[in-house]
Amino acid sequence: MNITRENVDAVNAVVKVDIAKEDYSDKVEKILTDYRKTANIPGFRKGHVPMGMVKKQYGKAVLVDEVNKLLQEALNKYLTEEKLDVLAQPLPKKQDEIDWDADNFSFEFELGLAPEFEVNLKGKKAITQYNIVADNKMIDEQIERLQKKYGKLISQDTVEKNSEVTGTFTNEEKEINNTVTLFLDKFKSKSTAKLFVGAKVGDVITLKTKGLYENELDLTRVLNISAEEAKDLDIEVLFTITEVNKRELAELNQELFDKLFGKDEITSEAELKARIKEDAENQFVQQADQKFLNDVTEYLIENTKFDLPAEFLTKWMQAASEEEIDEEKAKEQYEKSEKSLRCQLIEGKIAKEHNIEVSVVDLKNHAQDMIKAQMAQFGQPNPSEKELDDIARRILSNTEEARRISEQLVSQKLLAVYKENANIKVKEVTYEKFVKEVYGDK
């Protein structure tokens, strides 16, 4: 057997595999001999069928099968030994119909090679790393929400600006009939809230659904309809008031502190504000990190230039597709996936250069950390090691879940590399300003 490679260019190559008779003849002969021992052919006793008849009936199929096995084994071994970094799988080149009556065979395969390139993390333009802080306004609003949550409801005769108004939305034509509690400051327009002020139990208020809320999800909630039904809904609905209450804020005292954080964990308003600030900013870190990771990734894709075997990958996508697609469709699929492929190659190179790996121990520890955080949310802050081990084992036995956790860990390790090596400017902002800068006014 002889294997040769011709490099077409930096990212394309053709491998030729020559298979001679001596490479496969012994295997084919052995299989046919075994067939002869077990073949059931009318007119002959088992084991006494003439070899010529066995070869005539089975020889061609056995030959094809063995040559194909030999071909795949040789090709895989060659790629491994030559340490070729290939993209996708080798594609057999189109050739004239194979003469299986010949002794020697030649096969050619197209290869798409991973490009050689350098990654420069320190670009001229600095990438913003946001440090999101909780300002006094946010802390005060959170404290007020907690006071409302643990406060008392006091019944009212008439609706005031800060009242909680319970009632039923109805519309016969759309079969809407849903009881809900409304907060007047949630309406998109202040003029809508004014319709309620001064109203009493039993009063009926007519509202237009169009523009009632800033977010259509709020409309789906109060009317109990689907998102599809809420989209562009423009009808009148009636709201019949059945209850009016005022929320008396809970006092900022030790009783409230203990309810929120456990006995004597917090003992003053100053400590409460510090704790709320700390918890909020810990949550902001994840959002800031994700933004930074996205920005570095975009920068690397934009500024790391290399060629890809586009024509080869397009043909491979066409050949590998589960459903038959034409060349134009395959090209469209390639163009959609090219950015993702570039990202994978860049991240793979960075991971290799910085020895980023995910071990079984890493997976287990990360899974256990996730489990502990979730259990703490449900009031189980101290699970036993056996509980953690059992749950982690179940999670990681799911291949898809294990892959997802592994990708999370790689992202975390890449993030650490970027923070250490990229050209960064740190920008401290409030959460409100962060949202405006990153997502625009919403």
Please write the tens of the pLDDT for every residue from 106-129. 999 999 999 999 999 998 889 999
**What pLDDT score does 277 carry?**
96
**CATH code (residue 33):** 3.30.70.1050
Answer yes or no: do 165 and 85 share one domain. Answer: no
Residue 298 falls within a domain, yes or no? yes
**Average pLDDT score over residue span 24-29:** 93
Q: What is the 3 state secondary structure string of the chain?
A: CEEEEEEEECCEEEEEEEECHHHHHHHHHHHHHHHHHHCCCCCCCCCCCCHHHHHHHHHHHHHHHHHHHHHHHHHHHHHHHCCCCEEEEEEECCCCCCCCCCCCEEEEEEEEECCCCCCCCCCCCCEEEEEEECCHHHHHHHHHHHHHHCCEEEECCECCCCCEEEEEEEECCCCEEEEEEEEHHHCCCHHHHHHHCCCECCCEEEEECCCCCCCHHHHHHHHCCCHHHHCCCCCEEEEEEEEEEEEECCCCCHHHHHHHHCCCCCCCHHHHHHHHHHHHHHHHHHHHHHHHHHHHHHHHHHHCCCCCCHHHHHHHHHHHCCCCCCHHHHHHHHHHHHHHHHHHHHHHHHHHHCCCCCCHHHHHHHHHHHHHHHHHHCCCCCCCHHHHHHHHHHHHCCHHHHHHHHHHHHHHHHHHHHHHHCCEEEEEEEHHHHHHHHHCCC
Please write the tens of the pLDDT for every residue from 204-255. 999 999 999 988 889 999 999 998 899 889 999 999 999 999 989 999 999 9
Answer yes or no: do 242 and 293 share one domain. Answer: no
**CATH code (residue 199):** 3.10.50.30
Bigger pLDDT: 269 or 372?
A: 269
Bigger pLDDT: 57 or 135?
A: 135
**Which structural domain range is residue 220 located in?**
152-248
Answer yes or no: do 433 and 298 share one domain. Answer: yes
Of the chain, the percentage scoring pLDDT greater than 70 comes to 99
Answer yes or no: do 310 and 240 share one domain. Answer: no
Answer yes or no: do 204 and 291 share one domain. Answer: no
**CATH code (residue 389):** 1.10.3120
Number of domains in the chain: 3
Residue 412 falls within a domain, yes or no? yes
Answer yes or no: do 291 and 429 share one domain. Answer: yes
**Average pLDDT score over residue span 17-32:** 94
Answer yes or no: do 286 and 435 share one domain. Answer: yes
Answer yes or no: do 48 and 95 share one domain. Answer: yes
- Of 195, 228, 248, which residue is a domain's last? 248
**What pLDDT score does 441 carry?**
55
* 378 has pLDDT over 80: no
Answer yes or no: do 403 and 320 share one domain. Answer: yes
Confidence grade of residue 442 (pLDDT, cut at 50, 70, 90): very low
Answer yes or no: do 289 and 397 share one domain. Answer: yes
* 392 has pLDDT over 50: yes
Answer yes or no: do 421 and 330 share one domain. Answer: yes
Answer yes or no: do 233 and 313 share one domain. Answer: no
**Average pLDDT score over residue span 130-154:** 93
Confidence grade of residue 44 (pLDDT, cut at 50, 70, 90): confident
